[in-house]
């Protein structure tokens, strides 16, 4: 029951009791002669009618009535009061009765009552005074004093009614503010994403806001009366108990923590809890806990933490995680004298697969490799992807070298099995370096370097094998291996680039071809020429990887020149190691086909010794010539018995070695040899090019001998591809080709 309803019921009871009491008072006053000499029955009649009309008006027009209905109700109450007051003979001296009647109306109708109440009170007193003046109503107070009292009564009641109206209006405004605040608070509580919970001294839930359903999926009623930790994750109950204890020890201070609460779907949601003890506040008398859902934030943090230690492509741990795992393993080894092994893996020919089949296929391949590596290892072993096609494996607490070798053999065997990728089967091999790490090693970087060096030894030996790190290697050999490792990485990381040296016709002065020459953009040593690294690469299959890069890049560049420079023959040097492979011709043709270059625009340069002394290489060259490629013998004249074999082998171009060209403008044996080779080449329908031309006199003598073209610093040093578009030998050497 509301306060207003209770007051209204109390008023009705009071009215029922008041009428008989008033009747008794009238009887006593009548007997004492203290009221007008009006028949007692008429007083009772007026009193009864007044009470009845007021009751009927209240029933007819309740609190929520219109303005007209309010006026009618107030008018009836004032009229009934006027009849009773003036029937007693005391008239305006009982004006306080109007105030009591109007106060009841203020309770039901609020501040809007005061104006009609004042008007009808003044009207009622005025009519009563008129009745006295006309002799219709009795008056104990004589005239004209009674009329003066009436004026004062009107003024007094007006002041009181206005004050009541002002006070009631202020009260209404305050109540409206409170109601608005309550509505706003209820709306905030109902629609807030944070749940508020109040628990008692026994940690039982006594109040819980509806927002808890947004967090757990359960309505608040499910938790009422339960112990607070009943819906907390078992691992977090200790945290919840600690929050409760700390909050109880520090009343009025917030205690915060993060814990998990059970969701209706069986999962666990993370919530940030802010608890405060308000047992000292009678309005609360409990511990208040605010629940804020932080599940998404936690998931994001977990993802960040996962990404920081895992490779996003394969899901394997990354270099950082591997380094930390190796550091911990080395620490345990020192304490317990255990053996560990580090295996460093690099996929053979992965760059070729990636470039020819596309990065999407390459990514699928890496994912499959990661999955297969997991199957080769124990649950406690660690496998990581270091980036690109490099992987590392940590074998902790092994019995000896044999354990590591067994794992390496298993990996090589498993990766050699066909991998179904993009509707095709891809065959992979891998090179593995093994470093056995005992209790004397504390630096994880050292262990990784040892495995890395061993891996590059395996790759240099042809790949698809493992090699064990050899501690007896001399420092120069270690440095050489490190340089070789850097060069392997240079190929994989795109540190190699091409410069092109023009080949110029000695008759037209036009650029007729270019030779692709590799450079290494070393991150520390700067731009290195081929002499700084090709000899080292030729000792292993590393030179094959470089050959593949140079060929692919040269073909791609030649295709791009179609619009700027025009169709241009590009010459590429090939190593004997690649051409001796049985699949060399197929690999070369596949690279050309992938680039889209016309084979007739490609010239392959080989050494004189290879062209004349290796049957396998000769067979590959013959096949390539049938596909439209031209073959040139580079550095001709430095080999043995070359002249006698020229007509037997698939050769289109002879490139005279710079050692002969150097003295061609002098009367010398070299000049005679150059003249003879040019004549022999033309007799065999071969094109002859001179290398290492540096002086105009050399150009004149070579042209006089009938040499077809030349290249060297006289015309241009090797330049980047984008500078060839503006290259003009005639513009640079206008007198060299004068007729």
664-674 tens-digit pLDDT? 888 778 888 89
pLDDT tier for residue 730 given thresholds of 50, 70 and 90: very low
Pairing of β 569-573 and β 602-607: parallel
Do 176 and 290 sit in the same domain of this protein? no
Whether residues 276 and 336 fall in one domain: no
How far apart (Å, rounded) are the C-alpha atoms in residues 129 and 147? Answer: 7
Q: In the numeric block, which tokens belong to residue 428?
A: 């992979």
Residue 721, C-beta contacts closer than 8 angstroms, at least 6 positions apart: 498, 500, 557, 560, 561
- What is the mean pLDDT of the segment spanning 162-173? 81
Give the model's pLDDT for residue 592.
94
User: What's the angle, vertex CA 422, arms to CA 421 and CA 426, rounded to 5?
Assistant: 35
| Whether residues 205 and 57 fall in one domain | no
Show the tokens assigned to 358. Answer: 């596309």
Measured distance CA(98)–CA(104) in Å, rounded: 10
Q: Give the tokens for residue 673.
A: 């040899």
**Measuring CA to CA, which residue among 206, 203, 282, 195 is closest to residue 245?**
203
Q: Is the pLDDT of residue 279 over 50?
A: yes
Average pLDDT of span 67-77: 75
Residue 123, pLDDT score = 84
Residue 357 neighbours by CB under 8 Å, 6+ apart:
422, 426
What are the pLDDT digits (tens) for 535-572? Answer: 888 877 788 889 999 999 999 999 988 877 788 899 99
pLDDT band at residue 731 under the 50/70/90 scheme: very low
The pLDDT-based confidence of 502 (bands split at 50, 70, 90) is: very high
Distance of alpha carbon 696 from alpha carbon 736, whole angstroms: 6
CATH code of 682's domain: 3.20.20.450
- In whole angstroms, give the CA distance from residue 148 to residue 144: 7
pLDDT band at 252 (very low <50, low <70, confident <90, very high): confident
Whether residues 281 and 347 share a domain: the answer is: no
Of 520 and 641, more confident:
520
Q: Which of 439, 456, 472 is the last residue of a domain?
A: 472
Distance of alpha carbon 510 from alpha carbon 388, whole angstroms: 43
**Within this chain, do residues 139 and 285 fall inside the same structural domain, yes or no?**
no
pLDDT in tens, 685-697: 999 999 999 999 9
Asked whether residue 242 is assigned to any structural domain, the reply reads: yes
Q: Which residue has tokens 């009631």?
A: 168
Query: What's 297's domain CATH number?
Result: 3.30.450.20
Token pair for 96: 């306080």
502 and 569 both lie in a single domain: yes
- Residue 685's region, left for phi above 0, alpha for psi from -120 to 50, else beta, is left
CA separation for the pair 483, 478 (Å, rounded)? 9
292 and 434 within one domain: no
Question: Residue 115 corresponds to which tokens in the numbers above?
Answer: 């104006």
Percentage of the chain modeled with pLDDT above 70: 86
Q: Is there a contact between 260 and 236 (Cβ–Cβ < 8 Å)? A: yes
Do residue 314 and residue 288 come from a single domain?
no
| Token pair in block for residue 118 | 């004042």
In a domain, 533, yes or no: yes
The pLDDT tens digits for 344-359 are 999 988 877 877 778 8
For residue 510, the number of C-alpha atoms closer than 13 Å in the C-beta half-sphere is 7
Q: For residue 506, how far is the Cα from the chain centroid?
A: 62
Query: CA 366 → CA 98, 307, 395, 421, distances in Å?
Result: 98, 17, 21, 10
Question: Residue 67 pLDDT > 60, yes or no?
Answer: yes
96-136 pLDDT, tens digit per residue, is 777 777 777 777 777 777 778 778 778 878 887 887 888 88
Size (the chain), residues: 739
Q: Which of 200-209, 514-523, 719-728 ranks highest by mean pLDDT?
A: 514-523
In the predicted structure, residue 367 carries a pLDDT above the cut 60: yes
Structural domain includes residue 680 = yes
pLDDT at 478: 60
Q: Find out whether 87 and 36 touch, Cβ atoms under 8 Å.
A: yes
**Do 204 and 225 form a contact (C-beta atoms < 8 A)?**
yes
d(CA 333, CA 397): 8
Cα distance between residue 64 and residue 3, in whole Å: 16
Angle at 711 between CA 556 and CA 664, to 5 degrees: 160
Positions of E strands within 523-564: 526-528
Confidence (pLDDT) at 30: 65
The pLDDT value given to residue 563:
73
Inter-helix orientation angle 319-336/295-309, to 10°? 70
Give the residue carrying structure tokens 């600690």. 242
Least trusted range by pLDDT, from 350-354, 385-389, 531-535, 645-649: 645-649
Same-domain check for residues 198 and 182:
no
Phi, psi (rounded to 5 degrees) for 452: -65, -45
Instruction: Check whether residue 246 and residue 125 sit in a common domain.
Output: no
**Calculated CA dihedral for residues 298, 300, 304, 306, nearest 10 degrees:** 70
pLDDT at 15: 56
Tokens read off for 281: 């506040």
Q: Is 642 part of a structural domain of the chain?
A: yes
Which pLDDT score is estimated for 728?
A: 65
| 567: Cβ contacts below 8 Å, ≥ 6 apart | 561, 598, 601
Kindly report the backbone phi and psi dihedral angles of residue 715, in degrees, each rounded to the nearest multiple of 5, phi listed first.
Answer: -90, -50
Cβ–Cβ under 8 Å, residues 557 and 721 = yes
Q: Are residues 271 and 348 in the same domain?
A: no
62 conformational bin, left if phi > 0, alpha if psi -120 to 50, beta if neither: beta
CA dihedral in degrees (664, 668, 671, 677; nearest 10)?
-150
CA atoms within 13 Å, Cβ hemisphere of 402: 1
Averaged pLDDT, 487-498: 87
**Domain-located, residue 486:** no
Residue 736 pLDDT grade (very low, low, confident, very high; cuts 50, 70, 90): very low
Tell which of 156, 186, 216 closes a domain.
186
Q: What is the DSSP letter of 317?
A: B
Burial per residue of 549-581, b for 16 or more beta-carbon CB atoms within 10 angstroms, e otherwise: bbbbbbbbbbeebeeebeebbbbbbbbbbbbee
Domains of the chain: total: 4
Q: Which residue has the higher pLDDT, 488 or 56?
A: 488
pLDDT at 439 over 70: no
Query: CB of 708 within 8 A of CB of 674?
Result: no
d(CA 439, CA 436): 10
Domain region containing 703? 496-726
Query: What is the Cα–Cα distance from 330 to 337, expressed in whole angstroms?
Result: 10
Q: How far is CA 110 from CA 103, 161, 178, 264, in A?
A: 9, 12, 16, 50
Q: What mean pLDDT comes out for the span 22-51? A: 71
Return the higher-pLDDT residue of 599 and 14.
599
Residue 238 lies in a domain: yes
Whole-number Å distance between alpha carbons of 380 and 113: 87
Whether residue 655 lies inside any domain: the answer is yes
- Starting at the edge strand found earlier in the chain, the sheet holding 205-208 runs 205-208, 195-199, 287-293, 268-277, 255-262
Higher-confidence position of 252 and 341 = 341
- Whether pLDDT at 316 is above 90: yes
Whether 318 maps to a domain, the answer reads yes
Considering just the CA atoms, what is the radius of gyration of the chain in Å? Answer: 54
Same-domain status, 286 and 322? no
Last residue of a domain, one of 268, 301, 334: 301
| Tokens of residue 41, six digits | 């029955």
Residues 6+ apart with CB under 8 A from 671: 663, 664, 665, 701
């Amino acid at each position: 029951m509301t306060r207003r309803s209770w007051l209204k019921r109390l008023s009705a009871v009071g009215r029922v009791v008041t009428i008989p009491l008033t009747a008794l008072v009238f009887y006593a006053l009548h007997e004492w002669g203290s009221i007008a000499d009006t028949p007692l029955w008429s007083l009772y009649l007026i009193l009864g009618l007044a009470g009845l009309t007021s009751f009927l008006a209240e029933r007819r027009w309740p609190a929520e009535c219109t303005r007209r209905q309010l006026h009618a109700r107030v008018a009836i109450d004032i009229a009934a009061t006027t009849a009773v007051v003036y029937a007693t003979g005391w008239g305006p001296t009982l004006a306080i009765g109007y105030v009591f009647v109007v106060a009841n109306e203020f309770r039901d109708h609020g501040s809007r009552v005061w104006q009609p109440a004042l008007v009808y009170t003044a009207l009622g007193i005025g009519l009563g005074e008129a009745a006295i003046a006309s002799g219709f109503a009795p008056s104990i107070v004589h005239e004209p004093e009674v009329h003066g009292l009436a004026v004062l009564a009107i003024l007094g009641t007006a002041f009181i009614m206005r004050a009541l109206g002002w006070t009631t209006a202020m009260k209404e405004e305050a109540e409206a503010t409170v109601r608005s605040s309550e509505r706003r608070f209820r709306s905030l509580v109902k629609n807030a994403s944070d749940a508020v919970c109040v628990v008692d001294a026994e940690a039982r839930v006594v109040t819980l806001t509806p927002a808890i359903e947004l967090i757990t999926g359960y309505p608040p009623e499910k938790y009422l009366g339960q112990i607070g930790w009943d819906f907390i994750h078992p691992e977090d109950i200790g945290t919840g108990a600690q929050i409760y204890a700390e909050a109880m020890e520090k009343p009025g201070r917030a205690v915060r923590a993060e814990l998990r609460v059970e969701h209706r779907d069986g999962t666990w949601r993370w919530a940030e809890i802010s608890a405060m003890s308000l047992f000292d506040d009678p309005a609360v008398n409990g511990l208040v806990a605010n629940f804020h859902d932080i599940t998404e934030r936690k998931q994001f943090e977990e993802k960040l933490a996962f990404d920081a230690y895992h490779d996003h492509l394969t899901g394997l741990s990354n270099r950082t995680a591997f380094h930390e795992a190796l550091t911990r393993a080395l620490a345990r080894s020192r304490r317990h004298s255990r053996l560990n092994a580090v295996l460093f893996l690099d996929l053979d020919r992965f760059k070729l697969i990636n470039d020819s089949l596309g990065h999407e296929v390459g990514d699928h391949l890496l994912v499959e490799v990661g999955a297969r590596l997991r199957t080769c290892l124990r649950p406690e072993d660690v496998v990581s992807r270091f980036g690109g096609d490099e992987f590392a494996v940590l074998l902790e607490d092994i019995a000896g070298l044999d354990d590591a070798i067994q794992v390496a053999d298993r990996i090589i065997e498993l990766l050699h099995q066909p991998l179904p990728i993009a509707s095709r089967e891809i065959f992979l091999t891998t090179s593995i370096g093994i470093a056995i790490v005992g209790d004397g090693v504390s630096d994880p970087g050292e262990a990784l370097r040892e495995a890395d060096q061993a891996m590059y030894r395996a790759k240099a030996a042809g790949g698809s094998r493992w090699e064990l790190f050899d501690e007896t290697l001399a420092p120069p050999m270690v440095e050489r291996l490190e340089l070789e490792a850097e060069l392997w990485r240079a190929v994989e990381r795109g540190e190699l680039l091409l410069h092109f040296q023009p080949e110029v016709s000695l008759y037209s002065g036009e650029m007729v071809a270019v030779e692709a020459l590799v450079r290494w953009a070393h991150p520390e040593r700067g731009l290195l020429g081929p002499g700084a690294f090709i000899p080292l690469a030729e000792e292993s299959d590393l030179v094959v990887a470089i050959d593949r890069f140079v060929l692919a890049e040269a073909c791609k560049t030649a295709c791009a020149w179609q619009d700027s420079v025009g169709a241009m023959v590009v010459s590429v040097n090939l190593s004997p190691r690649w051409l001796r492979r049985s699949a060399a011709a197929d690999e070369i043709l596949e690279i050309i086909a992938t680039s889209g270059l016309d084979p007739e625009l490609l010239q392959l340069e080989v050494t004189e010794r290879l062209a004349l002394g290796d049957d396998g290489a000769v067979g590959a060259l013959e096949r390539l010539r049938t596909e439209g490629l031209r073959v040139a013998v580079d550095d001709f004249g430095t080999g043995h018995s070359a002249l006698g074999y020229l007509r037997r082998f698939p050769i289109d171009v002879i490139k005279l070695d710079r050692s002969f060209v150097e003295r061609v403008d002098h009367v010398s044996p070299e000049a005679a040899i150059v003249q003879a080779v040019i004549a022999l080449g033309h007799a065999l329908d071969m094109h002859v090019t001179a290398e290492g031309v540096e002086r105009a006199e050399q150009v004149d003598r070579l042209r006089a001998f009938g040499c077809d073209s030349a290249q060297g610093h006289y015309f241009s040093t090797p330049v980047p591809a984008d500078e060839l578009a503006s290259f003009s030998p005639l513009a640079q050497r206008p007198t060299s080709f004068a007729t």
